[in-house]
Structure 1
Amino acid sequence: MALAYRVVPVTPFQQNCSVIWCDQTLKAAVVDPGGDLDRVMAVLEKEGLTLEKILLTHGHVDHVAGTDELKRKSGVPVIGPHQADLFWIQMLPDICKQYGFPPALSFAPDQWLNDGDSVALGNETLEVIHTPGHTPGHVIFFHPGQSLAWVGDVLFQGSIGRTDFPQGDYDTLISSIRERLWPLGEGVTFVPGHGPNSTFGQERRSNPFVADQAFQ
């Protein structure tokens, strides 16, 4: 019994959309459908999965622009992010124009998420942790049994999320990483919003922004 996943890079920003599923029930979720839904649907079909929900880490365009279309096609609920990112979702049509994305409609999540919530997927459960800084409503999804986390744009291999967007805050982001992610364990593998996977332990040793030695 386990949680399986495939990373599907989407949009010109090469955002790591993920298809995740319970390998017993084949019930699936799509994390951060930023666009290129044909690629995402192809994974669902190839693996024989039943899409059950859409999970959002935060409201930036490359993570959510495909959400309304996927919801209309599938009829599944949209879960997340934290309500503090509502303003980003409301601005989605204008942001798409600004960044040259295909037109996308704003939407209302069926459920906002708060710190300490959990999300069921088949026989598996993901823990929700509120991690503001990149955006005020950013959340991550953590699977304790496999020490696996989807961290959106909070943390990358060798870097961290930008904080120069509206309501971003550098100190808040650093605190989210050091106080909310690191306690989950150095062995946690994380899927970032862009780029390759890494582990919290690797970033604690080598990431110039948040390595332990930078705070000694």
Structure 2
Amino acid sequence: MRYTIIPVTAYQQNCTLLVCEQTNIAALVDPGGDIDVLLKEVKKQGVELESILVTHGHLDHVGGVAELAEKLSLPIIGPHIEDDFWIAALSEQCRMFGFPESAGFTPQRWLNDGDTVNVGNEVLQVIHCPGHTPGHVVFFSETQRLALVGDVLFKGSIGRTDFPKGNYETLIDSIQLKLWPLGEDVKFIPGHGPMSTFDAEMRSNPYVGAYR
């Protein structure tokens, strides 16, 4: 599986194009906006876009979901149903933060902890990691040792917990009890900023470091 990180929106949110190299089937994870930019990359790589995967319901991660799904008749997969209230309030989010109007949506499939999602022949494990939002999920490829963590964890930082239904202690538990056990060698794509590894964050992240 290969991946391409495509920053979108004024928030430079990391949308990720995941491609199964055996089948050429692809998925977009968190298409928050700039649909033309995303579709240009899909066309450039010559892949078959099959689905949209969503980590959580904040507008910079889901602002382009409804438009993209309608334009290409794509199924929307994720997040956990606990983020339904965020998606239902998407228009309000857009007005509050000065984003272009985006329609809400209902995923074809809500996700739960322990589910799996396929991208071609690649299998992603679903890990429910609340704290930043109550319905936040992480997608993990065991074979690639790659996690797409949305806004749970960043290089040198963690997600905010001051939004409605956010919780700091829950977020720390999600990271230390659900992500760290996946292995120190796991590299991760955060919702914003550069990639890192769990090992690097265990050692130096001031919020969740000094774990070992």
What TM-score comes out, normalization by structure 2 length?
Answer: 0.99
Q: Look up the match of 1:21.
A: 19
2:157 to 153, 156, 159: 159
**Residue deviations 1:58-115, cap 9 Å, x none?**
0000000100000011101000000000000000011101111111011101100000
Q: Look up the match of 1:202.
A: 200
Q: Which runs of 5+ in 2 are unaligned?
A: none
In structure 1, give the amino acid aligned to 2:90: L
2:86 to 63, 85, 88: 88
Q: Look up the match of 2:104.
A: 106
Q: 1:49 Cα deviation (Å)?
A: 0.6
Q: 1:212 Cα deviation (Å)?
A: 2.2
Q: 1:206 Cα deviation (Å)?
A: 0.2
1:1-216 pair list within 5 angstroms = 3-212=1-210
Q: 1:39 Cα deviation (Å)?
A: 1.0
In structure 2, give the amino acid aligned to 1:109: P
1: CA distance, partners of 2:10 / 2:98: 9
4+ runs deviating over 3 angstroms: none
2: CA distance, partners of 1:59 / 1:132: 12
1: CA distance, partners of 2:66 / 2:165: 24
**Residue deviations 1:157-191, cap 9 Å, x none?**
00000000000000000000000000000000000
1: CA distance, partners of 2:121 / 2:30: 21
Q: What secondary structure is seen at the aligned counterpart in 2 of 1:142?
A: strand
Q: Which runs of 5+ in 1 are unaligned?
A: none
**How much identity, in percent, do the aligned residues show?**
58
2: CA distance, partners of 1:108 / 1:130: 18
In structure 2, give the amino acid aligned to 1:149: A
What TM-score comes out, normalization by structure 1 length?
Answer: 0.97
2: CA distance, partners of 1:156 / 1:120: 25
**Residue deviations 1:9-32, cap 9 Å, x none?**
000000000111101111000000
2: CA distance, partners of 1:190 / 1:121: 18
How many residues are paired up? 212
**Residue deviations 1:123-167, cap 9 Å, x none?**
110000000000000000000001001000000000000000000
Q: What secondary structure is seen at the aligned counterpart in 1 of 2:23?
A: coil
In structure 1, give the amino acid aligned to 2:6: V
Q: 1:50 Cα deviation (Å)?
A: 0.6
Q: What secondary structure is seen at the aligned counterpart in 1 of 2:176?
A: helix
1: CA distance, partners of 2:159 / 2:170: 11
